[in-house]
Amino acid sequence: MTTTEDFATYIAGLPRVLAGAAVLFRDAGGRVLLVEPNYREGWALPGGTIESDEGETPRQGARRETVEEIGLDRELGRLLAVDWVHGAARPPLVAYLYDGGLLGDADFQSIRLQEEELLSWRLVSREEIGEYLPGALGHRVLAALDVLAEGTGTAELENGHRVA
């Protein structure tokens, strides 16, 4: 076997990790924009799977998904949280969460849902996050809101809980 074949075999045997990226948009009152997918129960943030086979970065994936899902094409702010989420029925997921900033009335009026994937959108307060986003995603959003309130840093999370 050549060195190239050895390396290809080595790479093929490495564990797989999924990667996703989402955006945290808020209104002037601090409420968070959520979307309701039609392909599963519950609510989510605008975002989705990073197309790493296409060379897409997490930031690019978050922006692309936001444009596709809700029609908003905005420059994203800083990385608020990175979460390592263990899955029983799937490989682990690395979830990136970016600051989408504050949206105004004109932004909300321009939202156009991707009908193939989304049913609706809504704004929820910090106190309601756990109702709409249970588990790691809800904890991730709360950690990101804390990071925004602190003004600096990025939350490092495992299953939605801070590790550093």
CB 121 within 8 A of CB 37: no
| Cβ–Cβ < 8 Å for 29, 119 | no
Does the residue 7 lie in any domain?
A: no
Containing structural domain, residue 41: 17-162
Q: Residue 22: helix, strand or coil by DSSP?
A: strand
Per-residue confidence (pLDDT) for residue 1, from 0 to 100:
53
User: Is residue 33 situated within a structural domain?
Assistant: yes
User: Residue 29 gets which letter from DSSP?
Assistant: T
**Is residue 32 in some structural domain?**
yes
Predicted model pTM: 0.92
Specify the CATH number for the domain of residue 27.
3.90.79.10
The 10s digit of each residue's pLDDT in 46-85 is: 999 999 888 999 999 999 999 999 999 999 999 999 999 9
Q: How many CB atoms lie within 10 A of CB 158?
A: 15
The reply to whether 70 falls in a domain is: yes
Does the structure show a pLDDT above 90 at 21?
yes
The verdict on residue 6 lying in a domain is no
Q: What is the mean pLDDT of residues 132-153?
A: 95
Q: What are phi and psi of 139, to 5 degrees?
A: -65, -40
Task: Work out how many domains the chain is built from and give that number.
Answer: 1
pLDDT at 70: 98
- Among candidate residues 61, 59, 34, 31, the one with its CA nearest the CA of residue 45: 34
Share of residues in the chain with pLDDT > 90 (%): 82
Whether 147 is in a domain gets the answer yes
